Structure 1
Amino acid sequence: MTATFTARGLTAIVLPLAALTGLAGAAQADDWTPTRSIEFIAPANPGGGWDTLVRTTSRVIQEEGLAGQNLAAINVPGGGGAVAWAQIARDSGNPHKLFATSPPIILVPLAGASRYDHTHFTPVARLITDYSIVLVRADSDYEDLGQLIEALGERPNLSVGGGSAPGSMDHISMAGLASAAGLSAAGVNYIPFSGGGEAMTNLMGGHVEAVITGAGEASGQLGEGSEVRALGVSSPERLGGVLAEVPTYQEQGIDYTFDIWRGVMGTPDMPVEAVAYYEELFAQMLETDGWAAARDQLGWIDAYQDSEEFGAFLDEQREQFSEVLTELGLIGG
């Protein structure tokens, strides 16, 4: 079955790192180095995609000895990211504050739930592409994605939880899946939680029938003896590691994929010297063995873009997501 819309422009762009870490960038980075611990904010509770990115990158950078200062992981939940963005926006020019970002930085403002969008902050680097995954409890009656979709059509009140706000990433991903399967996208009973961790807690507590979340953040809860079972993943091909046994949507007859890009942004008007330092830091991180091991375990795909390229990509994403939200009836045309 063919999707009535696609999340256009979300395919990972894998760029050669060598082309992005030239001498000019290195010279700029030499002009500034952090003088104290760097606040690295995950705009949600522990356990979600932002939190996983923040803690994984911070750990690899520390273990590989790439930075002279510690990257301190800090969780600031609320509003699908809006609470953290409002705090960060007030700290203009601070070179010692970063935050993890992904599609909600565009989707939440488009839905009118935040006055701050990507244009208020400084793009630093896009790092990876993740994918959506649909989970149920291990004792669930739903054995595959088709059975869950059929139940969604027959029982409109059947609830699917996610770790992002209404109209944001997990909601859009689930709505697109439903639409591709022939259901009403706007009719999905999506229940928002403040992060992937809270969504999983509610799944295990029986408060929702299924959860849609990032495959990377779910990978640690899958495998032998797991209390959850994965029904499908939104990647075009099967992922590696513990996710290798999870069939794609397309394998199950639903012609739909959804990519979740993730990256890093900084405070408004971050000094260019600090941006150059962080660009080089994350580019070096992506070349380490420690990163390769973590990335493969989480099912991520490298998709590096430097600050300028990431900024242009975010502008394009705003246009494309605006079209998708309009098609789904989640914002006015």
Structure 2
Amino acid sequence: MTKTHVSSRATGSAPSLRTRMRGAAAIGAALPVLLAACGSSDGVAEDGTWAPTKPIEITAPAATGGGWDTLARTSARLLEEQELIDQSVQVVNKPGAGGAIGWGYIANNAGDPHKLFVTSPPILLVPMAGDSDHDHDDFTPVARLATDYMVYLVAADSPVETFGDLAAEVSAGGFSIGGGSGPGSMDHVALAGALEAAGADPAEANYIPFDGGGEAMTALLGGHVEAAVTGAGEALGMIEAGEMRAVGISSPERSEALPDVPSLVEQDIDFTFDIWRGVMAPAELEQAQVAYYEELFGDLVETEAWQEESARLGWTDAYMGSDDFGAFLDETRDEFAEILTEVGLQ
């Protein structure tokens, strides 16, 4: 906390009335500037528009290397490189509790239009599992940007060749599978749904949660787990480098980014799961502030640079504005509740 030292005036040197009035006028003239410095310029202009007055902070609610981190850093970099925003864009990582630590941080900054966070299915699933004090209703939807799919990974030298083999290992017992989020959240649900569709009991899977897909893949590479489930975009580099293999992808058909990886559907496993990726903001934002970001990210996804990055990361365009994204979140929560019930996780 900054303390301001105020020195007292020596006795007998009191200012004259004219001097005091002149000082008051100077303070009055400076007041708008002082208010602006204190943040009042965050308000909406007379013409109903708003623009940021200081650097934008995008929170990734996980450690570096995972899908949230990739989305946050890709968005921040391209917003600046494409000169879509006058302010700088900074990324901060708030890992822990499957995203709940980051969400708590954003919730404590209600009304701050200079803070955003990237999001995906865990914003729905983690609260449904009772592992977060905040759910999507506590935040402001800004835009859905893209979608991705889950891949089911094994070590490069693993005897597991297909998802059916993986399901058989689970049924045999003791087979450990790492995921980047807690029990009952995105990675776990994507695994449980696929196992059930393959004829295995999801409850028999030894699911090991990590803070983000990056940590789950590191555990697989280190031999600490026998398989991992994470987003295709997160695993793309590792798969292409031959450091691990994907025995299935949760897309309806093969992905252009991973043409050698068979879909679950192709393996006669009737299950798909997509990872939508978007941006949200704290609660209590002005409509003009939401509109600013909605348009900003709408412009971003139309740039050639974004489209090239999306193709490289295995993302598919799935833009939605604020209102549509909010409705989508409500509908998807209901769908997830059905899945969780079906696989015995709720």
- TM-score if structure 1 supplies the norm length? 0.88
**Cross-structure match for 1:323:** 338
Q: 1:270 to 1:201 in 2, by over 3 A?
A: same
Query: Is residue 284 of structure 2 the alignment partner of residue 264 of structure 1?
Result: no
The 8 Å contact of residues 30 and 277 in structure 1, kept in 2 or not, is answered as no
Range moving further from structure 2, 169-178 or 34-43:
34-43
Q: 1:52 to 1:28 in 2, by over 3 A?
A: farther
Range moving further from structure 2, 315-324 or 123-132:
315-324
- Report the CA distance between 1:144 and its aligned residue: 2.2
Report the AA paired with residue 173 of structure 1: A
Match of 1:237 among 243, 253, 278: 253
Report the AA paired with residue 74 of structure 1: V
CA distance, structure 2, for counterparts of residue 221 and residue 66 of structure 1: 32
SS for the counterpart of 1:56 is: helix
Range moving further from structure 2, 189-198 or 321-330:
321-330
The 8 Å contact of residues 66 and 281 in structure 1, kept in 2 or not, is answered as yes
Q: CA RMSD in A?
A: 1.5
Q: Which structure has the greater CA radius of gyration?
A: 2
Instruction: Give the unaligned 5+ runs of structure 1.
Output: 1-26
CA distance, structure 2, for counterparts of residue 240 and residue 148 of structure 1: 24
Q: 1:280 to 1:111 in 2, by over 3 A?
A: same
Percent identity among equivalent residues? 56
Match of 2:117 among 90, 93, 99: 99
The 8 Å contact of residues 29 and 274 in structure 1, kept in 2 or not, is answered as no
SS for the counterpart of 2:252 is: coil
- Report the CA distance between 1:146 and its aligned residue: 2.1
Match of 1:65 among 83, 91, 94: 83
- TM-score if structure 2 supplies the norm length? 0.85
**Cross-structure match for 1:8:** none
Cα deviations across residues 12-36 of structure 1 (Å, max 9, x unaligned)? xxxxxxxxxxxxxxx9997111111
Map 1:170-319; keep pairs closer than 5 Å: 170-223=187-240, 225-241=241-257, 243-319=258-334
Report the AA paired with residue 278 of structure 1: Y
Instruction: Give the unaligned 5+ runs of structure 2.
Output: 1-44
**Cross-structure match for 2:64:** 46
Query: Is residue 124 of structure 2 the alignment partner of residue 109 of structure 1?
Result: no
The 8 Å contact of residues 28 and 273 in structure 1, kept in 2 or not, is answered as no
The 8 Å contact of residues 53 and 87 in structure 2, kept in 1 or not, is answered as yes
**Cross-structure match for 1:138:** 156
Report the AA paired with residue 338 of structure 2: E
**Cross-structure match for 1:166:** 183
Q: Aligned pairs, how many?
A: 302
**Cross-structure match for 2:74:** 56
Cα deviations across residues 205-227 of structure 1 (Å, max 9, x unaligned)? 1111000000011112222x421
CA distance, structure 2, for counterparts of residue 213 and residue 183 of structure 1: 20
Report the AA paired with residue 150 of structure 1: A
Cα deviations across residues 281-320 of structure 1 (Å, max 9, x unaligned)? 1111111110111111111111111111111111111222
CA distance, structure 2, for counterparts of residue 144 and residue 172 of structure 1: 19
Range moving further from structure 2, 167-176 or 180-189:
180-189
